[in-house]
Amino acid sequence: MRYRHHLAAALFAVGAPLLGLLVVVGGTALKAFGPEALMGDGLVRLLVDLVVFFAGYGVVLFTQLRYFNVLVFFGAFFTLFIGINGIATSVEQQVLRQRGEITACTVRDVERREWTSTDSQGHPTTHVAYDYGLACADPRVERMTTGSRVAERGERIDVAHDPAARLEPRPAASAGDPGSSLRQGVMLFAIGVVLRLLSEMGVPPFRGAESLHGWSRRFRRRRRS
């Protein structure tokens, strides 16, 4: 019985992040390589993004609530999220390497956006994005959004873009190396999974996970309340 419990806990620790990874990477690949008749529709791409966020990243976040050890909760949370994002980013970078093009652009305007989100514990996080209006040699590229300020109004910048318009344009200098992103993503993802496994096996100082039965029972009780 105890063996079955440990086996189920280990499968939970590994399986949930793997499921999240498959959903995120699958959604990214679908957007990049899916049939034009399907993925050419902006609404379909939006639905894929929502599935990736809630079913991919969401399953990792939700299952992390089982681990009340601080090292495991925060350590696995950040390494898994960054790792999954790195692996998905490597897919986009590979697409740009295969079929991407670079065009010279002049920044017409820059708009800074700022918003706040709240996690499950009620902690607020401030996000910042920069929207650029561009005048490019390739007229198909008109706008670009980045997480940091990369150019000022009137400056010239090289922009990498997908001729199929499946991926968002980005600064050519930050297009990145898919091999490097993949290696870093896999390494961080593996660290997150190992942290969860150590907690499941009760290895100090990582022990501190609620039993699967107790965790599922608490979740059902919350849903009823």
Does the pLDDT value for residue 220 go beyond 60? Answer: no
Tokens found for residue 187: 């390494």
d(CA 52, CA 22): 9
Average of pLDDT values for 130-147? Answer: 96
Q: What is the pLDDT of residues 11-21, one digit of tens each?
A: 888 999 999 99
Q: How confident is the model at residue 26 (pLDDT cuts 50, 70, 90)?
A: very high
Domain boundaries, the chain: 2-100+162-224
Q: Average pLDDT in the 107-123 region?
A: 85
Question: 221 burial class (0-12, 13-18, 19+ CB within 10 angstroms)?
Answer: exposed
| Closest to 9 (Cα-Cα) out of 67, 55, 85 | 67
Does the pTM exceed 0.85?
no
CA distance 73 to 134: 42
Return phi, psi of residue 118, to 5°: -125, 135
Which tokens hold the place of 8?
A: 């189920």
The predicted model gives 59-82 an average pLDDT of 91
Q: Is the pLDDT of residue 210 over 70?
A: no
Termini Cα distance of the chain: 32
